[in-house]
Structure 1
């Protein structure tokens, strides 16, 4: 149950603007929450709804314990309505049903709130129905539209909403959040370096195949260092069977990039930036093989491999070529 204090740590500007709307008693009839997946849009909208309905709130802070707060937590508040895509899109019928709900008198008060998740996925007909809804706002109705891509929405809808832009989480924040969720410090560092999307980081951590990515990267580096003639054998018999999908292979290459970035960080005495914190001995050995310049060149080679994967070049051929290049 995040509070406004929590939200100010992750999204300070958005949180402060919403808190100010309570202080000034100027809640808009419609908000557009724009931001990447995992930046806290759903949590923010839920908290904002609590603050609207809570009768025991102090300033903007809801009590979290009253009937209204608990109903919102359980998804059973009669005057808070959620709309999500039905399949691939939000359909006209869903907006019509929403409008019908709003013709009834509120169960607890005249306050009503609706939250549309993935609002950019509304069909044209659904968008036009919502537009009519927004054009005639009820003073006691608040809408929150959540989207990762507001540019895909009608300009006329965007213009009737107060736009609030959610910023990507910084890596340190993602790392701390992951550790709080029980992820090991070493894995949290890697995940936070791969993505600033907390939800995506959690999903990666839960994937069985990801658990061995770190180990495979270290094994590849050891082969390149100590048994270069076995590089192609390792790629074909251990690396490629693990990364069955192109998306997985891209992530494997991203983790390999982190290794070479660590070599550069070590050369520049940037200890805080190092991700593979438990592999100091292996890094000491690796810096004798790859200078800062050659580590930077290796990063370029990996980026080129990633580009080829995106262009549908055969993944095994790409990895074999990259392995030979890294051996030189």
Structure 2
């Protein structure tokens, strides 16, 4: 990530950050808020490098020892906190405070990044508040959130808020591919974001790959062999999509399948399943736009029932029945 690249995607954010770096007037804390976590991470990486860079000219210079180590995440004065399971706990913030009580190993400056800051427990948020109110030395905090209203108002009031503009699915897909994601997986991840949020990155990728195949197979059975669909549901769907969080993501994958079928009718190319174009085309010949709209509505209602704590197995059986009746 460079200033030019950030400016092309988030012009307001880039202008404010670069001006603060050039004038050496960075606040003690930023809150990056918006839907796209990748945008947050790349902007945070750029700002961390600029903050730690020792160049007297362009910051970040991109060639000094500090820039390189900050970019690959190995700088000793850069700390990143992520949720431990479903939340960020008080002991994680306390460990951060203990670490920052010592002088910087490489320079007087230290920076910490908190991802999904809205997932802090109440005790963790209160501990961080004390830290924000009494920063020691040259310290920079970057908090990322997709739910600004879930942060303590006192934390928000002590930070500078930068709102990131939402990107289109196609823009997110291009960014993921530029970051090294395979095109087929980038297409789907651009649309579902970081779901399921309870899995670490390396596990999430494998989970999505498997879940994607289950959805493709289930959709094909519903169309071609509806009497076998329930068997796939029992043997593969329920064994992979186990809890409500995962089932909700699975329903998203299912929803995007039927949206892609509709897109094939409209001859659109921005697909969530670009490698399945032939299967999507075949299904588009068997389903009318009205049927597909009904299918998507059924999936959305299944998500609503899921959030209302209705039995997941009953939800899925009812969903398959509705889709089959509509076909």
* TM-score above 0.5, yes or no: yes
Counting only pairs closer than 5 Å after superposition, residues 164-203 of structure 1 correspond to structure 2 as 164-195=162-193, 203=202
* Residue ranges of structure 2 left out of the alignment (5+ in a row): none
Match of 1:225 in 2: 223
* Equivalent pair of 2:29/2:132 in contact (CA under 8 Å): no
- Matched with 2:3 is 4
How far the C-alpha of 1:291 sits from its partner, in A, is 0.5
Task: Structure 1 unaligned segments of length 5 or more: list them.
Answer: none
Match of 2:50 in 1: 51
Q: CA deviation at 1:42?
A: 4.5
Question: Residues 242 and 8 (structure 1 numbering): CA distance in 2 closer, same or farther, change over 3 Å?
Answer: same
* Equivalent-residue separation in structure 1 for 2:195 and 2:308 (angstroms): 25
1:19 matched to which residue of 2? 18
Out of 257, 263, 273, the residue aligned to residue 261 of structure 2 is 263
Secondary structure class of the residue paired with 1:279: helix
Q: By how many angstroms is 1:164 displaced?
A: 1.5
- Which one of the candidate residues 257, 275, 279 is aligned to 2:272? 275
Q: Could you give the per-residue CA deviations for residues 32-54 of structure 1, whole angstroms, max 9, x where no partner exists?
A: 33345723445433432432343
Q: How does 1:122-271 map to 2 (within 5 A)?
A: 123=123, 126-127=127-128, 129-130=130-131, 132-133=133-134, 141-148=138-145, 149-195=147-193, 203=202, 206-207=205-206, 209-269=207-267, 271=268
Alignment match, 1:32:
31
Q: Secondary structure at the match of 1:244?
A: coil
* Distance change (3 Å), C-alpha of 1:63 and 1:265: same
**Retained in 2: the 8 A contact 1:260–1:298?**
yes
- Do the aligned residues in 2 keep the contact of 1:171 with 1:193 (CA within 8 Å)? yes
Q: Secondary structure at the match of 1:176?
A: helix
SS across alignment from 2:38: coil
Instruction: Report the counterpart of residue 311 of structure 1 in structure 2.
Output: 308
SS in 2 for 1:51: helix
Cα drift, residue 203 of structure 1? 4.8
1: CA distance, partners of 2:188 / 2:44:
30
Q: Tell me if the contact between 2:45 and 2:70 (Cα under 8 Å) persists in the aligned partners.
A: yes
Q: Distance in 2 between matches of 1:42 and 1:107?
A: 24
Q: Deviations over 1:163-206 (max 9, x none)?
A: 21234443223322433455442332122222278998965762
| CA contact 2:196–2:204 (8 Å) conserved in 1 | no
Deviation at 1:300, TM superposition (A): 0.6
Mapped partners of 2:196, 2:322: distance in 1: 34
In the alignment, which residue of structure 1 is the partner of 2:89? 89
Provide the C-alpha distance between the structure 2 equivalents of 1:240 and 1:198, rounded to a whole number of angstroms: 16
Please give the alpha-carbon distance, in whole angstroms, between the structure 2 residues aligned to 1:93 and 1:86. Answer: 14
Superposition TM-score, scaled by structure 2 size: 0.77
Q: Give the secondary-structure state (helix, strand or coil) at the position aligned to 2:319.
A: helix
SS at the partner of 2:284?
A: helix
Q: Distance in 2 between matches of 1:290 and 1:26?
A: 59
User: TM-score if structure 1 supplies the norm length?
Assistant: 0.77
Secondary structure in 2 aligned to 1:264? helix
- Most deviating of 300-309 and 47-56: 47-56
